């Protein structure tokens, strides 16, 4: 099988390529990314520098992948909303076009449970039919939701292509590199007083194992993915032995917004705080019942593997 991956130099992409290189059923891999790879590539993998804002139908037509996995996305908040949206949405459109042009059999898109939004009226468990309402100032979630819309519109006119959308919670593990892992690498962790919502994580190995399963079985549809159970913000701090202070929500929101606007910090505006204030846990019942699939790691153990690497 021939597999093309956008964002192959990123966190999930690197983990996926590392696994696929060892599989006998994988003939060759084409990795497209604007950044160089973070590790030495196996002889099965070809790396191409490419900005997904630009079409790549020709590359895919020449490679002729059986599967195109679209991972490339701007995760970290930026102050240039229009430019970031162009990268994310045009990148998705170009990936769909490339899949169609190359006559790929399957298209896999890694979405996010942040598209449900973090709100005080969220149900205990959000399912795949829950209302999509990303926080308007949390661009990553907004662009993920818009990308899903583009994919669904494309799917209605391309029914021969099997399309799989995986709505993942934050990915965690020894190699974690996202807004959660970066927050816990700081000397002092900030919490919200009187708020300690349950969090979900999915282990990096579980993500790539599921993608392998999905390719081998030509799975399509939309599924939430998360490790079993939850872990609270305070439990996370205790496990990693982080010093934490809790501030009133209004004060921390004000400080975060001022530091963002004055460019003292570039991690997030104040909208990101809602994700450690309100519950946004997703049900994985559909995955279990429809595919009879079970992850190895719980949310707690996924976090523990990250802690073990850092301590």
Average pLDDT across the chain, whole number: 93
**Can you tell me the mean pLDDT for 143-153?**
97
What is the predicted pLDDT for the residue at 41?
66
| Nearest in space to 218 (alpha carbons), one of 167, 152, 164, 155 | 164
pLDDT digits (tens, 9 = 90+) for 26-80: 999 999 999 888 766 678 999 999 999 999 999 999 999 999 999 999 888 788 8
* Residue 176 neighbours by CB under 8 Å, 6+ apart: 11, 204, 306
Beta strand 67-70 with 244-247 is unpaired
**pTM value?**
0.95
What is the predicted pLDDT for the residue at 300?
97
% residues pLDDT > 90 (the chain): 80
pLDDT of 311 > 70? The answer is: no
| CATH number of this structure's domain 2-172+201-227+281-296 | 3.40.50.720
What is the predicted pLDDT for the residue at 242?
83
Band of pLDDT at residue 310, cut at 50, 70 and 90: low
Kindly report which listed range (225-229, 243-247, 275-279) carries the lowest average pLDDT score: 243-247
Band of pLDDT at residue 243, cut at 50, 70 and 90: confident
| Nearest in space to 173 (alpha carbons), one of 140, 204, 215 | 204
**Can you tell me the mean pLDDT for 202-209?**
97
Q: Considering just the CA atoms, what is the radius of gyration of the chain in Å?
A: 19
Band of pLDDT at residue 99, cut at 50, 70 and 90: very high
**Whole-angstrom distance, CA of residue 36 vs CA of residue 47:** 8
Domain boundaries in the chain? 2-172+201-227+281-296
**Whole-angstrom distance, CA of residue 297 vs CA of residue 188:** 28
**Can you tell me the mean pLDDT for 189-206?**
94
**Can you tell me the mean pLDDT for 18-30?**
95
Beta strand 106-112 with 162-168 is parallel
**Can you tell me the mean pLDDT for 230-258?**
91
What is the predicted pLDDT for the residue at 165?
98
Distances (CA, A) of 133 to 64, 264, 266, 286: 36, 29, 24, 20
**Whole-angstrom distance, CA of residue 207 vs CA of residue 191:** 28
């Amino acid at each position: 099988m021939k597999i093309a991956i956008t964002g192959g130099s990123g966190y999930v992409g690197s983990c996926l390529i590392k696994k696929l290189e060892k599989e006998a059923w994988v003939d060759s891999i084409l990795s497209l990314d604007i950044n160089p790879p973070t590790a030495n590539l196996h002889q099965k993998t070809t790396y191409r520098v490419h900005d997904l804002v630009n079409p790549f139908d020709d590359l895919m037509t020449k490679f002729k992948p059986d599967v195109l996995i679209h991972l490339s996305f701007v995760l970290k908040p930026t102050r240039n909303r229009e430019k970031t949206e162009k990268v994310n949405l045009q990148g998705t459109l170009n990936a769909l076009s490339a899949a169609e042009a190359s006559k790929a059999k399957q298209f896999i898109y890694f979405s996010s449970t942040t598209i449900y939004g973090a709100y005080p009226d969220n149900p205990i468990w959000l399912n795949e039919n829950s209302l999509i309402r990303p926080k308007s100032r949390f661009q990553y979630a907004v662009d993920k939701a818009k990308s899903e819309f583009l994919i669904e519109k494309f799917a209605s006119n391309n029914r021969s292509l099997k399309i799989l959308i995986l709505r993942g919670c934050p990915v965690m593990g020894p190699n974690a590199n996202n807004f959660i892992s970066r927050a816990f690498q700081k000397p002092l962790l900030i919490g919200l007083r009187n708020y300690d919502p349950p969090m979900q994580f999915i282990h990096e190995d579980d993500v790539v194992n599921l993608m392998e399963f999905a390719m081998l079985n030509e799975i399509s549809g939309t599924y939430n993915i998360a490790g079993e159970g939850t872990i609270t913000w305070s439990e996370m701090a205790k496990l990693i032995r982080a010093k934490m202070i809790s501030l009133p929500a209004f004060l921390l929101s004000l400080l975060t917004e001022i530091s963002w606007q004055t460019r003292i910090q570039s991690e997030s505006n104040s909208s990101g705080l809602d994700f450690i204030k309100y519950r946004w846990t997703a049900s994985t019942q559909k995955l279990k019942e429809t595919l009879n699939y079970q992850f190895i790691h719980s949310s707690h153990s996924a976090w523990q593997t990250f802690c073990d690497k850092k301590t």
